[in-house]
Structure 1
C-alpha cells in the first residue's frame, strides 16, 4: 500500500514514519522531510502549492493521504488552500482516501476566533467534498505529547519554567487536558487503513491521559525541580468527553502510553533539544564571526597594499625610468580583481585622494582643479576600479549561480530518478498484473460467465469473442453435427467468414475426426492440410455433436500451456451449449406450436435477433424466408417443410401469422438453388426483407 504523509509534519518523529513504513510504502512531502532517511520511505521537500507535489499523485497510486493540519499550531492561514488542493488531487485520482488530522475543538478555541473561523471553513469544505463522493476520515486529536518540539503545551510551559517567566495559559486550572503519543496515533492509523472503510468517518480521538491543567503544571515543576511558578490561568472551557471503547471494539486499538511516566523524559528531551538549538546558534555566531574576520583581513590587506604603493610612488618620484609606472593604478587593479566592486571603488577613491594630495603640493589647487588633464588619472582610477571589481563580482556570482544550479539539478535528478524508478516498478507491476490476469483461471471464468444463456445462437456469439480474446487468435470457428458426417458452421471469426466452407466433411480429415470422437483434443502438430490447428469436440451422451476449432495459430502458441487453456475455455463453452440444448428440448412443448416444428412468435423473434447479432458482427450469415402457401394448417405446413430444411434451420411463426424459415449460414448467392429445391417439393417461399 502506498501512503502519502504531508502537511504539518514537523511535529512527527522518525519513529512515526518507521512504524508506518513497516508494511507500507510511505512518501513524505513537506518541510523538514529530508531529515527522514529510512527504508521504504521517500522524502520530498515540496510544498503543497508546487507543481511537483501534484506530479506525485500521478507517479504513485496513493491508497491513503494522511494530512496533518496546519491548524495544529497557531496562525495557519494557508490551511484552506492546502486542504482544497489535496481534496482536488484525491478526487482526480479515484480510490485515494484522505485522513485529515487536526486539533480537538477545545484546543482550537484556545487559539482564538480566527483559528475557529478557519476550522469552521475547513469543516464545511469537508462536507462539500463528501457530497461529491470523496472518502474522508476526519480525526480530531488532543495535545501531542511532544515536549522536544518547538511549540506545544508541554514545551511552552517548560520554557517559561526554565527561564523563570510568567506562564499565561488559556484554560482554567480545573480544565481537563489530554495527551496523545505518536506511537499510539500511528498504531491507530495502521488499524484504520487495514479496515479500508469508505464514506465520511468522524472521530474525536482521546489519548487516555486526561488530567487537570493544574496537575500538569505541578508534575512539570516536580520533574524540573522548580516551585512557586507564576501562572495565570484562563477560563474553563468545555470539558472533553470520557474515553469510549469504540476504537477497542472496532479496530482493536487502545492507547498504551502513560503520560504520568513521561514528565521526566519530557524535561530531558527538552533540555537536549535546547542544547541542540544553542549549539546551532553558536555555530551561526561562529560563522558570522568568521565572515567579519575575513572582511577585516581584506581591509588590512588593502591598507598594507595601499601603503606599499604610496611608498613606491613617493620613493620613485625622481626616477625618470619609472615615470611611466603608476603604482596607484596597480593598487586599484589588484584590489578590484581580488576583492570585488565595493573594495575596487574604495581603492579608486583612495587613489584619487592621494593623487590630488600629491599634486597639490606642487601647484595651486585651483590650477590643478580646472586643468582637464589632471582629471584623466582620476577617471582612469574610477573606471579601472569599477570594471575590475565588477568583473570579479560577476565571476563570483557565476560561480555561486553555478553551484546553486548544480544543487537544483542534483535535486531534480534525484527526484526524476526516483520517479523513473517508480515508473519502471509500476510498469513491471502492471505487466505482471496484466499477464497474470490474462492467463488466470479467474478471468477465464469471469469471461465465460456471459455464456450463461438458454439460446445457442447467443452462446455462439459470445463464445467467438471469448475465444478470440483468451486465445489471442482471429481464426475461431464453431460447428454443429446433426448425427451424420457433416459439420455445419454456426459461427466464426470475421477473418474466416469468406475462407471457411459452410459445411465440413469429417471424412476429409479422418485423424482429426477420430481424435475428437474419442473425447480428446486435436492438435495439428504435423500441419495436415485442411485440418484445424486445434479442435475440441462437444460431446453429448457419448456422441460428437459439435466442434470448436482454431484454424490458425502462431508458432509460439503450439505449447502445452496454450492447449490446456484452450481445453478449459472450450470445456466451459461446451457445457453452456449442452445446457442450452437440453433446455430447448425440455421447453420444446412451450416454445413450439402443438404437433409441429414451428416456433411460437416470441421464441422465434429471439432466434432472429440472435442471428441478426451474429450477422452484424460478421460472425455468421443467415437468410429469412417467408412461406407462401394456401394451406393454413400449421401441422401440414410443418410436415411439408420437414423434407426441404436442414436440422439447424429454424421454422417460426411471424407476427403476421405467416410461417418463416431462418436459414443459418446461408446467403443470397445460393438463394435461387434453395428456392428451386423447395419448389420441387411443393413449397413456395419468398425472401423476407423485414421482420
Structure 2
C-alpha cells in the first residue's frame, strides 16, 4: 500500500515510518514546511510543502495514496505555544488536504490523530468515545475543530475519514519540541533542582510510541472498522508520584539523588481514555512497560540536557525589555528626524532667496516637499509640507504681523498648492511602490510555484526510475519470480520436490528452508532442507503439536512467529490440494526487519507458483512407490529404484537432503523372503530395491550415519547383515 504520513520530524514520525516500511509498505512524507532541513532516509519520497500550499492537489495526484495519516495533535510543526497565525494555518491546511483527497479518483482512508488534550476538565471515570470533549485553549480548540472537520468530511464515496485519540503518548524525544507533559516538567525539575514536585492526587494512563504505532498500523490495515472514532489507551494508570519516581530513578547518578516531593494541592486531575471499543474490535495488546521506558527516557534526557533545556531557562530581563521598546520607538522617529534636519538648509536657502534678483521666483519649500514626496512617499510629504508651512509663516512675520499673514488669501493658496502637489506626488510614489511590491510578491509566488512544480516533477522522475528498476531488476520482481519458479521445469519429476526448497530459499532470501510432506493425518516427514538448522525439528514431526503454527496454516494463512517462540520456524505456509494440506514450507533464517506482510505474501506467492509442480511430483513419487514393486513385496523394481536413488543422490550432493545407502547380505535367503521380513524394520520414508549387481539395497532418506546404525541393528536382529555404501561408488 502507498501510505502518506504528514508531520514534522519527531520520535512519533520515526516510529510510524519504521513500522510501515518494516511491514513492506511504501511510505511518503508531507513535512508541512518548506525548509526541508530534516530528511527521512527510509521513506520512498518526502515533500516539503505547507499543508495549505496550492500544489497539494498535484502532490496527491502524484502519490495517489491508499491511506493518509494526519499527525494532528502530534505534529511537531505546531504546539500549545503556537501563535494565532500558526493555528489558523493548521486548520486551513487540514481543510486543504481533505479537499484535495475528495477530488481524487481513488478511494482513500484518512486517519486523523487526536489526543486526550481536548478533555481539559477533571473526569472521575475513563472517557469513552461518546463523551463530549471540553477544550478551552486555542491549540486544543484547533485539534477539536480538526476532529469535527474530519468526521464531517465524508461527503463522497472515495473518502473514508476516521479519528484516533491517543492517551498520553510518550517516547524518547529527539529534541525539545518532542517533549510532552508531564515528563518534560519533571525532567526539567530533576536536572536543575534535583527535586520533583508532584500532586499525588493526579494520575494518567501512558501509551508508548511503539504500542501506538502498532495499533495505528493495525487500524490502517483493517478492512471495515465499525466506528469512525476510537480511543487508544494502554490502561496502565500511573500517578504523578509513580511517574516522578521513575524519572528520579532514571536520573540517579552516584551520590546525586533526585528527591520526589508529594503535595496535595487543588482538585485531583484524572484524564484517562477508555479503549474498550478498540481493544474489543482489534484484539489490541500493549507490550511496553511505562516504568522501564520512563527510566530510559529520563537517563537520555539528563545525558543530553543542553539539547532540551538550554533555551528554556533563558528569560529577558526588564532592562532589556525597556531597551527593546526604546529601539522600536527610535526606528519610528528616525525618518521624521531626518526630514526635520533636511528642512533646515531649505529654510536657510528660502531666506536668502527673498529679494534676490535671480532666485526670488524660486520656491525652495515647494522643491523640498516634492523631493520628499518623490523619494519617501505621501507620509513624509505631508510632514515636510507641515514644516514648510511653518517655515513660510515664520519668514512672513519678518515684514508683516501674524494677523496680516493669516488674513492674506495668498497664504492659503500657497499652502493649498504645497499640500496638493505633495500629496498627489506622494500618492503616486506610494502607488508605484505598492505596484512594484505586488509585482515582486507575484514574481516570488510564481517562482515558488515553479520550484514546487519542479520539485514534484523531480520526485515523479525519481519514483518512475525506482519503480522501473524494481520491475526490471529487483529480486522480487515478477520477472525474477517467474524466472526462478520456472526453473523447476528443467528437472525430472522425481527431482522437483528437492529443488523446490531451493526455489523457496532464493525467493524469500532465507538460507534455512525445509519442506515437510504430510504422511498421515497428524505427522509430516522431512523431505528436503537447505541446511542443518532447517532440519532442527527432525525427520518426522507431529505438526499439530505446533498449535500456533497449525492454527494459521490450517486456515490457509502464512504463519509469522512475531513472538519469537522457541522451537517454531519464523515463517511457515501450507500447500493444499482440494482443501487438504499436502506439504508444509518452513523458513528459519529471516532477519527481523524482513518478517513483514510483504515477506509473508512472497512466501504465499511462491507456494502457489510451485504448488502444481510439487504436488505433481509428490503424486508421481507415491505412484512410483505404489505401482512399481515386485509382486507381493515392498521391493521396488530395478528401474524405479535406480531412478529414485539417482534423484536422492543428486539432491544430497547439493545439500538438500541426507541419505545413507545400505547393502544387505542375503546369504541363502531369497530376495522376496528378505523383503517380507525386512519391511517390518523400515520406516515410511525408506525404500528397498535392486541394482545392476543383483544385490538388495536400502535407501534411508534424511538419515546420517549415526541414525543409520539403529536401522542396521534392527536388520541384524532379523538375521540380515548390512554395510554402508559410498554413494559415489554406486553404479546406477
Give the TM-score normalised by structure 2.
Answer: 0.45
Give the TM-score normalised by structure 1.
Answer: 0.48
